[in-house]
Amino acid sequence: MIQLSLLVLFLLRINDIHSKHWIPLKQDVVHNVHIGHHQEIASKPKVQQIRFKVVYHSSVNVLSLEKQVLIKKKLMPSAVKYFHNTFSVRNVTAPIKLQRMCESNSFFLKDKTGDNPGHLQYCKVACEETTCGPIKIAESFLDDCRVCDEHGNHCKTKKNVNIASEDKRNTDFVLFVSSIQTDHCKESSIVAYASYCQQEHALNRPVAGFANLCPEKLESNPQSFESLLSTVKHEIYHALGFSVGLFAFYRDLNGKPLTERQSNGLPEYNNMNNLYQWSKKIVKPIVRKDWSVSGGYIDHEVQMVVTPTVKKEAQKHFNCPDLEGAELENQGGEGTALTHWEKRIFENEAMTGTYTQHPVFSRVTLALMEDTGWYKANYSMAESLDWGKNLGCNFVKNNCRAWIADRIENKLSTAPFCATLKQSPLHMRCTHTKLSLALCNLVKYTSNLPKEFRYFDRLGQVPVKDIYTYGGAVELADFCPFYQKFTLTEEDGRKRGTTCTIKENAPTKNKNYALETYSKYAKCVEHGRHWTGKKDLLTRTMLDWGSGCYEYDCTPHGLFMTINQKRYHCKNQDSKIEILGKMDGWNINGSLVCPKCEEFCAGKGQCPKYNITNFIVNAKHSAIINLEEKAHGPEEHGIEPKHASSTLVYQSILVNLLTLLTIFFNANLYI
């Protein structure tokens, strides 16, 4: 029990971390970068795959060789290739010359001669040192320094003789990559952050930005690579378009601004929140009138991206034909709220505000990039998002309370949400992706949750006075509890993840009590009962159970599981297969519950046909509901009767391995 309390404290600590997003201030962004003739760019239908010019800052070159290789040979090439293959932009017709920052951010727009109005930026009085986030831009990337006096007269151009001779017409976006231990890096669990710093004059597309990879957070082990790469891609998405600072610059398919522009060509700047104010054609507040909470229904306001492509893709994904668009995050404060997808309904979509598990960049994110008006997306690059898929309007328009109540009423699984208290022994499940072992992340907070997130009326043995202190460990998911992968710390200090496809996560042979295999061919399968082992006169029973990682293959006859070199045919969903095997001198016995064949073999056309059960959506619920799910019953605990009644006197041991170890859920904030 001590370990469980520690776990709760640890989770609370994680959820208290709020990070400030790097949304650039007005003076941090330079506009009017020329990439060709205005009319030509705006109307040009020709597009090409986006080309990055990656420029490494000196801070990268002083890192250890291992970290340099990680950034220069692995992370950045993979990320750049991903964006090149996923997005196209309108052809640039002139090389990108980055604009200079001006003293006091004051400038005039004039033509080449400096005598008439035009599109060229002339600094008032003096040009300043030009930066992009924490990086000083080298002279070789900068345009000439053009200056007028304070009245806009006597304009002069000081030629930049240091500009690189290489033709930057081959570049659509200049990305400065640094690895500086900034205050931002010190603040919290921030691994990397990025933003745009210059926008072009014709359509306001960002053409330069930076990514700072926090040097102390860079780990080059294979377990970290997936999350690191996904974080870098996440940050580049912010720099290219998915940012609350850029909403007001979005354009329709014809290049027409969606937000009204002022005489300087820019949208109105809102000095209250330090953002350019966007139109309701882009992000719109919508009030959910039947937000289900303990004690009744309340109004809950959400902010939604309502642009056409996003709306279409969100409706299709959730199978909710009257969905208004895609919901944005409402929590986390400045830098998290409004600039990510809502965690409750997009869980492992990589553009949500925290990293929890198996990040994917889905069609909805690609659609948002198209709706900026700057990019064309290649949807074959979209990754499949299983969370929320086809779960209907009750899932996407309400919260986990409404969802769980409805599913219980219709005798259906409450997944992906859950309401099981963590208790010893642990009862593990699988994540909705079937890629990892998972636990329900329902935890106790130190004080009552805000009214709009109080989902429970009763929870097992929890005293009524404490009931509102319970919620999901991931705050950004509106405190909705869901099955989440976790990390174990073994007695020897070794950290072990629960993702089946990473072979380093495998338990050692003498602790492989449930005959698991971790490999790229493995997925999470639920157990039918406790696993037991026999060796000489000893029997042992695993008290922590529920799911494990096993190899599988898809054949014309359907799904097969391979355990301990034996193959088992999974003929029907939910049928149990008996497993007998040997490990480290023990005779091991247990059972697996066959998963739905399509979950493992989708798209391979090798599954027998099932009838799809439709359930009735019921938005209103009775006022008092017990949302706790039934975990395994007491009859399944302990030693099986056949051992006790055997004529041989066995010495029995109960192994309660996992509860003795420290467990934590990953909830690193993306920024």
As annotated, the active-site residues are 235
Shortest Cβ 357–Zn ion spacing (Å): 16
Task: Kindly state the smallest distance separating residue 653's Cβ from Zn ion, in Å.
Answer: 48
Contact 364, 385 (CB under 8 A): yes
7 alpha carbon, distance to own chain's centre: 23
Q: Which two tokens stand for residue 334?
A: 């400045």
Is the CA virtual torsion 280, 282, 283, 287 positive or negative?
A: positive
| Tokens 């009775």 belong to residue | 622
Q: Which residues is 210 bridged to in the sheet?
A: 176, 195
State both tokens at 516.
């698991």
Q: Quick one: 122 or 670, whose CB is closer to Zn ion? A: 670
The contacts of residue 435 (CB under 8 Å, 6+ apart) are: 357, 358, 485, 499, 500, 501, 523, 524
- Complex with Zn ion: residue 83 or 470, whichever CB lies closer: 83
Q: Rounded to the nearest 5°, which phi and psi values hold at 239? A: -70, -30
Q: Where are the beta strands (DSSP E) in 96-191?
A: 107-110, 120-124, 131-132, 135-136, 145-148, 156-158, 173-178
Give me the least distance between CB of 234 and Zn ion, in Å please.
Answer: 6
Would you say 456 or 670 has its CB closer to Zn ion? 670
Phi, psi of 623 (to 5 degrees): -65, -45
Closest distance between Zn ion and the C-beta of residue 229, in Å?
A: 15
CB of 58 to Zn ion, least distance (A): 26
Dihedral sign from CA coordinates of 96, 102, 105, 107: negative
Per-residue DSSP letters for 435-499?
Answer: SBEEEE-EEE-SSPPPGGG---SB-TT--GGGGGGEEES-GGGTT--BEE-EEEE-TTS-EEE-B
Q: How far is the CB of 336 from Zn ion (least distance, A)?
A: 7
d(CA 307, CA 256): 13
Smallest gap from Cβ 238 to Zn ion, in A, equals 5
Query: Count of residues for the chain?
Result: 671
Task: Using only the alpha carbons of the chain, give its radius of gyration.
Answer: 28
Instruction: Write the DSSP symbol of residue 584.
Output: T
Question: Amino acid identity of 421?
Answer: L
**3-state percent helix, strand, coil for the chain, nearest multiple of 5:** 25, 30, 45
Distance CA 243, CA 264 (A): 22
DSSP label at residue 652 = E
Dihedral sign computed on CA atoms, order 143, 144, 145, 146: negative
Give the interface with Zn ion as residue ranges (CB under 5 A): 670
Residues 276/266, Cβ–Cβ less than 8 Å? yes
Alpha helices in 241-354 (DSSP H): 308-318, 343-346
Say if residues 312 and 323 touch (Cβ distance below 8 Å): no
Separation in Å, CA 306 to CA 9, 285, 330, 338, 396: 39, 10, 16, 13, 15
Give the CA distances from residue 72 to residues 66, 99, 663, in Å, rounded to whole numbers and listed in that order: 10, 27, 34
Rounded (10°) angle between helices 76-86 and 222-240:
50
Amino acid 212 reads N
Indicate the residue whose CB is closest to Zn ion.
Answer: 670
Question: Which residues, at least 6 apart from 372, have a Cβ–Cβ distance to it below 8 Å?
Answer: 205, 241, 246, 249, 250, 251
Is residue 243 within 8 Å of 195, Cβ to Cβ?
Answer: yes
